[in-house]
Each structure stands twice: as structure tokens, then as C-alpha cells.
Amino acid sequence: MESKQQLLNTNSLNFECETGNYHTFCPISCVAWLYQKIEDSFFLVIGTKTCGYFLQNALGVMIFAEPRYAMAELEEADISAHLNDYMELKRLCSIIKKDRNPSVIFWIGTCTTEIIKMDLEGIAPKLEAELGVPIVVARANGLDYAFTQGEDTVLASLVQSYGLKTTSQTISNKSSKLILFGSVPNTVVHELTNELNFFGVEVGGWLPAKRYTEFPLLNEKDFVCGVNPYLSRTATALMRRRKCQLIGAPFPIGPDGTRAWIEKICSIFNKPVNGLKEKENRIWKTLQVYTDLLKGKSVFFMGDNLLEISLARFLIRCGMVVFEIGIPYMDKRYQGAELSLLEKTCEEKGVFLPIIVEKPDNYNQIDRIKDLEPDLVITGMAHANPLEARGINTKWSVEFTFSQIHGFTNAKNILDLISKPLLRNLNKDIYFSH
């Protein structure tokens, strides 16, 4: 691994891969935002009491919202294969149908279901036919997937399931439409949809929609574009199973990423983007109080939620120094446009390109943090307190997942999160205008 001086001389992207282990928040937590997004759904997480304890704590902040998720707990007898999986899942899903009457039930498979080889995909179609409720199986186990990839596996399963309306007829008499994919709050949906509508691009739907029954009709040759960097399996399923055309664009995170995302989509539909650059410049002016504070400050990403490349690119544009971008999983094809924008950003800013470390070894990272002495480390929750005890400023990566960070207006939210630990260390107060 490069020394600090070697890093400063880097002018080309450098990728490394370390342990192969995932040191991330558990991917089954995707239930937290998906059950709220898909309002007529129910999520059944199939795992042990440990999974239940995790969900109980991770989702405890939502105690005032009526949950539409539950645990199917595997006891010792289940793990020893003494009980009938089909009958028990039928019993639970019958109760769910009676009490909640959802339009779709998601089965979220945890690590334990992988270890004991539960045939969820085999059971689901039979039970679906018997109960008359669509059942979608998604593997969100921490053995195979990092934090936010839980959403990716759910959406990919949706795309592949026969529950989605689709047609394979040729589009000779009908122009291709645009479908956007990625679970974001409704306010973000409206903002990004309106941004594209302003330039004459009509959005044909979002995956996921607010309700399972409102999921978009997918035609062959329709265009699809993602809003999150961790949805590579969903993108692959849309292309291979639904024969859609993927628009490879940077992600709408930060004013720079949002402009690039809009520009790429508009170029596909041959729509001019007059005034877009001026709008981006106006947003940057509103962020100046942040960028003045952050300019020259350094940041180190340990890797947790797969948002690291986009966030690093935005922070470099803000004037920060990024030493290392740790990321649990790197799909260079799906994030190709984002990587190109990262290179372009570093070139325009006249700064070195940070090293990108896939599946980083946390022990090695701690050594590098000691050597590099960054002003801020963005890390998973497990490492924050130990780093703080050593006098290192930290910010939980999970906060970026649960905050609104997409689009022009939400760039401020990102810089709010970044600035707070730095201000706390400086023991100073600052007024951030809205």
C-alpha cells in the first residue's frame, strides 16, 4: 500500500482488493426503508434470534410507525431440520394475509438460511399459488452481501419475478420510455422527476413504486437509469431479464453528480439542457459556507454502504482531500460513469486520485489512518467509538444511507453530516444558511 507521499503523486485510478470479508452493517436492514417505501408490502425476515435482536435495535427508531415486517425465527429444532419449513411458513403467511392483506410478501433470507440450505425459492411458488399472494424471495445475508446490497437483491428479485407486469412486444409504434430505479423518499422522487420533466424527459415510472400494484410496465428497449451506486444486480436483471437499455450515468449525489446525471439522460433522449450549468452554480453558491470550512480538510473512507465513490467525488469537488476510498464491493461497469467523473474531478481540481480499496482489511486501514492522519474518517458503526477514543474524528456511514442526499437541494444534507464532527473538534459554532 502506498505511503502518504506516494498517494500525493497518484494521477491514475488505482484499485486494490484485500481480505474478501465484509465489515459492514447487516444487509437485512434494507427492510427498514423498503417496507415504508412499498406501502402495500409485508417483509418476513427468516433467521435466528440474533437477526431479530438486530432488527429490533436497528429499526427501533421507527417505533411510532406501524411496521409491516416480522421475524420467522429459526430455533434449534429448525436448524436440525426437525420441522417442516413449508408448513411453518404457510402458517405465518396465512396469519400475515389475514391480518394485513398485503399485495406482496417478501421473504428475506439471512445467513442461517444459507448455511442450512433452506429452499425458499422452491417453497415460495407453491405457497404463492396456495395463498393467492405474490411471494418474492430475496437473499440479504451478510455472508454474500454488504449493507445496502440488501436493497439490490430485493429489487433484482422483483425484476426477475413474474409479479412485475411486462411485455416483450416490439416497440415499433411506441417510443421507449424511461424507468428510474432505486428506493428513495417520495420528496426525492418528485424532485428528480421534476428536474427531468423540466428538460422534456418524461419519467415512465420508478422501481420500486409506492405500491406493488403500481409498479411500472416494463417493455423491451425501455431505458432504465439508477439513482444509487449499489444497484448493480438490479441493473443486470433489468438488462438480461427485461431486455431494457441501461443508461450509464454518474449518480445524482451532489450538485456535480446531479447535473451529470441529468445531462446523460437528456443526451439519450436528445433534449437540450439549457440553464442546467447555471442552476448548478447557484447551488454551489448556497453551499459556500460549507466549502470554505471543508477546503483542505482530509477524509478517509473505511467502506460500508457502497456510496463511497460518489461521496468522495463530491467532497473532492468541495475542496477536500480524499486519501482512500474503501468500498465493500466494486462493480466497475455499473459505476463506470461515476469513476470517470471522479477522474475528471481530480484532474480539474489538480489533486491526486485517491486509492480505491475493495473489501478493505480494517486492521490494515487502521495502520494507514495512523500514517495519513486524516481530519475525518467515515466508517461503519463498529469502528467509530474506538477511533474517537484515539482522537480521530468520525462520521457513521449509515447516516448517509438514511438521509436524503440525492438531487440539488439535498447536497446541503451531505455537508451538514460531514461538517458536524469537524466543528465539534474545533469547538466552534457556525451558522449554516438554508
HSE toward the beta carbon, residue 103, CA cutoff 13 A: 14
Q: Left if phi > 0, otherwise alpha if psi is -120 to 50, otherwise beta: which for 427?
A: left
Task: For residue 291, give Cα distances in angstroms to 219, 325, 345, 416.
Answer: 44, 20, 15, 11
HSE toward the beta carbon, residue 318, CA cutoff 13 A: 32
Is 30 annotated to bind a ligand? Reply is no
Q: What is the largest CA-CA distance in the chain?
A: 66
**What is d(CA 166, CA 99) in angstroms, rounded to the nearest whole number?**
30
**What is d(CA 194, CA 196) in angstroms, rounded to the nearest whole number?**
5
Residue closest to 398 by CA, chosen among 383, 376, 420: 383
Residues 6+ apart with CB under 8 A from 420: 395
Is 111 annotated to bind a ligand? Reply is yes
Is 225 annotated to bind a ligand? Reply is no
Annotated binding site for [4Fe-4S] cluster: 26, 51, 111
